[in-house]
Chains A and B, each alone.
Chain A
Amino acid sequence: MEVFGLWLAAFFTLGIISFLYKDNPWYKFSEAVFIGISAGYWFVVSFWDNLYAKFYLGVTANDDYMLFVGAVLGAMMILRLAPNIGWISRWPLAFVVGAISGFYLMNYFSSNVMKQVQNSVIPLFSADYGQSMFTESFGTIAGKIVIAAGTFTGLIYFFFSKEHKGAFGGAAKVGIWVIMITFGASFGYTVMSRMSLLIGRMDFLFGQWLGMIK
């Protein structure tokens, strides 16, 4: 059975990789099997994790009757299958979108605004009071200037109430340069991590499956 599983995994891996050549029946078959199995898997996971573990056990074992609110909203979603009363399904949607927007507003505000500003408010030349002005290395000072100026000019780029012209436009241009350089570094870093995924797959094919890598 283990050998069968190994061959099956290799068959589907090669099927998906065959897409690099062009769309073909092998890829279509692998794609359909992958989608079908994953959709079925997630249905089962959702049923046991949510309907059974959270709702059924929550009500019967923990007497948490607030869960009925979620259950009723969920049932209202299904009403869209009935054409005459399908409009009721908009209510839970409105609830989900509205509640989530409100719930995350303060979270995002504190993490993306407050902490960003707090970490950008730094002395440019030294770390602690009492130290002389240039006690830190040139690299550290340059890093601090990049953090403060990069955040400031980055914000200017995302300022929509003023046309990017003159000095303001120049600062916005510096901001987008900082962003693009960051993207470049991030691109290289992520490509390297993707290479490790490819190496993992090749290791499976040539090592576990074909036994060519010991």
Chain B
Amino acid sequence: MDCTGKSQKYTYIAILTLFLSLLLIISSANAVNSEVLVEDTTSAFIPNAPTYVTATDYKYDRGESAIVKWQLSSDDNSTGKITGYEIFRSEADADNFVSIGVVLPGENSFRDKSTENGVSYIYGVVTLYNGRTSQMVLSEPITPGTEIVNWNLLNLFIIGLLIAGSVIFFITHAKRGKKLFIRKIAGLEAIDEAIGRATEMGRPILFIPGINDMDDVQTIAGITLLGRVAKVVADYDIKINMPVARSIVMTVGRETIKEAYVSAGRPDAYSDDMVHYITDEQFGYVAAVDGIMVREKPATCFYLGAFFAESLILAETGNSVGAIQIAGTAMPAQLPFFVAACDYTLIGEELFAASAYLSNEPKQLGSLKGQDVGKFMAMMAIALGVFGATIAEAWGGSFFIWLDEFMHRLFTITN
């Protein structure tokens, strides 16, 4: 019995060993086969090339770029079979293709921004897969050139022409002596009042033209208003102090105040010290102006120009010395601080309108009226565009869809 039991046991062990060995052999064979299969796939796969490669001159520029387009490779089907496309370029009379860029699968165009005006080029595109490339497909030769007129900006030109035409029309109108109505701007009415206060108190006026240079229209607007302020200052013989952060602003400021004193018939009362440079450094300038405020205690502070983080520091210090403060800027982030801390604030466009309103000169008034025409056009465009787009959305209708698309095209800048 024992003998039979033992032989049975050995038989089971032998069968089990045989079975496991068989499994091992089968799995090894499968592994080898699969390795061979993978190896075969990778070594044999060459991606298909893209087709219909075309190159065209990029409009509108000075021959500085070209657009290369192609039809996607038949292997570019979002299954990861290819890794991208490589674009090559050679001058047309040479055969030295150099790589100028690589794009991802699914993309079928490339803008070459390094062409030279008048030079002929041939472009080639290959499909990439893990360092392997398809055959290169070439474009016809092209010669990027200069286009004198950028027709993409025709809409900008026409709208600009309409507004410029309106400005010229109203200037001519004003020069003929016709009266142009401009509504009252609250902050401007206060300028004379503020200067009068300084006269009564016998304390100086502080004029801050912002911290940007003359390449900012806000600084130019501030300097224009300075002309008006300086004229009244010259008439009443008040001290004006204008610390600046830019050397050219200092020169322009001096010229403006000098001219105001000359026109007031008091050139001898003018001094270059009225306008003085401090530093270009933003917070160095702020530290100095704050010091001037607490030491001189100006009766009136003007902040007219481009301001940044210093706006609240200046306005709060001016407030603490009891000055009446008039601010004006077109910096959206700084306007809240001026509105909160100053007595009057010229908001954005009001700063630019201010000089026209104060001067009453035909050129400035006509310019302001012309700009109003531009604003009217913008309002009409928004009203018409929103109406058209909403109706097109709600009920469709070919006319409203056309209107919506037309309004978008009209105000789209493509360069």
Q: Are B291 and A179 within 8 A (Cβ)? A: no
Mask, B271-282, CB within 8 Å of A = 1, is 000000111110
Among A16, A113, A133, A162, point to the contact of B394 (Cβ < 8 A).
A133
Question: B18 → chain A, closest Cβ, in Å?
Answer: 69
What residues on B are CB-neighbors of A140 within 8 Å?
none
Q: Are A104 and B281 within 8 A (Cβ)? A: no
What residues on A are CB-neighbors of B337 within 8 Å?
187, 190
Stretch from B54-62, B91-99, B406-414 that touches the partner: B406-414
Q: Are B281 and A42 within 8 A (Cβ)? A: yes
Stretch from A3-11, A28-36, A58-66, A205-213 that touches the partner: A28-36
Closest to B214 in A: A96
Q: Are A106 and B156 within 8 A (Cβ)? A: yes
25 CB-based A-B contacts, threshold 8 Å: A28-B291, A31-B287, A35-B279, A35-B284, A38-B280, A93-B255, A96-B248, A97-B214, A100-B214, A114-B156, A117-B385, A120-B386, A121-B385, A122-B389, A124-B393, A125-B390, A125-B393, A129-B393, A148-B386, A155-B378, A158-B348, A161-B183, A161-B372, A182-B332, A186-B336
Among B214, B379, B411, point to the contact of A156 (Cβ < 8 A).
B379
Q: Check: B217 CB closer than 8 A to any chain A CB.
A: yes
What residues on A are CB-neighbors of B181 within 8 Å?
161-162
Q: Are A160 and B348 within 8 A (Cβ)? A: no
Q: Check: B294 CB closer than 8 A to any chain A CB.
A: yes
Q: Are A187 and B340 within 8 A (Cβ)? A: yes
User: In whole angstroms, how far apart are the Cα atoms of A120 and B387 in the complex?
Assistant: 11
Q: Are B278 and A39 within 8 A (Cβ)? A: yes
User: In whole angstroms, how far apart are the Cα atoms of A209 and B404 in the complex?
Assistant: 62
What residues on B are CB-neighbors of A155 within 8 Å?
375, 378-379, 382
Question: A203 → chain B, closest Cβ, in Å?
Answer: 18
| Contact-residue bracket for chain A | 35 or more
Q: Check: A41 CB closer than 8 A to any chain B CB.
A: yes
With contacts A96-B214, A183-B336 taken as known, whether A42 is within 8 angstroms of B280 at the C-beta atoms is yes
Mask, B302-340, CB within 8 Å of A = 1, is 000000010010000000000000000000110111011
What number of A-B contacts does a CB cutoff of 8 Å give? Answer: 177
With contacts A121-B386, A133-B394, A163-B183 taken as known, whether A109 is within 8 angstroms of B290 at the C-beta atoms is no
User: In whole angstroms, how far apart are the Cα atoms of A62 and B262 in the complex?
Assistant: 46
User: In whole angstroms, how far apart are the Cα atoms of A35 and B381 in the complex?
Assistant: 50
Q: Check: B369 CB closer than 8 A to any chain A CB.
A: yes
Q: Are A97 and B401 within 8 A (Cβ)? A: no
The number of residues on chain B lying at the interface, defined by a beta carbon within 8 Å of a beta carbon of chain A, is: 71
Q: Are B156 and A110 within 8 A (Cβ)? A: yes
User: Which A residues contact B (CB, under 8 angstroms)?
Assistant: 16, 19, 22-23, 27-28, 30-31, 34-35, 37-39, 41-42, 77, 80, 89-90, 93, 96-97, 100-101, 104, 106, 108-110, 113-118, 120-126, 129, 131, 133, 148, 151-152, 155-156, 158-164, 179-180, 182-184, 186-187, 190, 194
What residues on A are CB-neighbors of B392 within 8 Å?
123, 129
User: In whole angstroms, how far apart are the Cα atoms of A31 and B283 in the complex?
Assistant: 10
User: In whole angstroms, how far apart are the Cα atoms of A125 and B89 in the complex?
Assistant: 49
User: In whole angstroms, how far apart are the Cα atoms of A14 and B379 in the complex?
Assistant: 52
User: In whole angstroms, how far apart are the Cα atoms of A115 and B410 in the complex?
Assistant: 10
Closest to B349 in A: A158
Q: Tell me which of A100, A104, A164 has the highest count of chain B C-beta atoms within 10 A of its own C-beta.
A: A100
Question: A139 → chain B, closest Cβ, in Å?
Answer: 18
Q: Are B214 and A148 within 8 A (Cβ)? A: no
Closest to A118 in B: B411
* Besides A121-B407, A190-B336, 19 new A-B residue pairs in contact (Cβ under 8 A), listed by A number: A34-B284, A39-B278, A90-B255, A96-B214, A101-B217, A110-B156, A118-B412, A120-B382, A120-B386, A121-B382, A124-B389, A125-B393, A129-B392, A133-B394, A155-B375, A159-B375, A159-B376, A183-B336, A190-B333
What residues on A are CB-neighbors of B309 within 8 Å?
194
What residues on B are CB-neighbors of A30 within 8 Å?
287
What residues on B are CB-neighbors of A23 within 8 Å?
291, 294-295
Mask, B334-370, CB within 8 Å of A = 1, is 0111011000000111100100010000000000110
Q: Are B382 and A148 within 8 A (Cβ)? A: yes
Question: A207 → chain B, closest Cβ, in Å?
Answer: 21
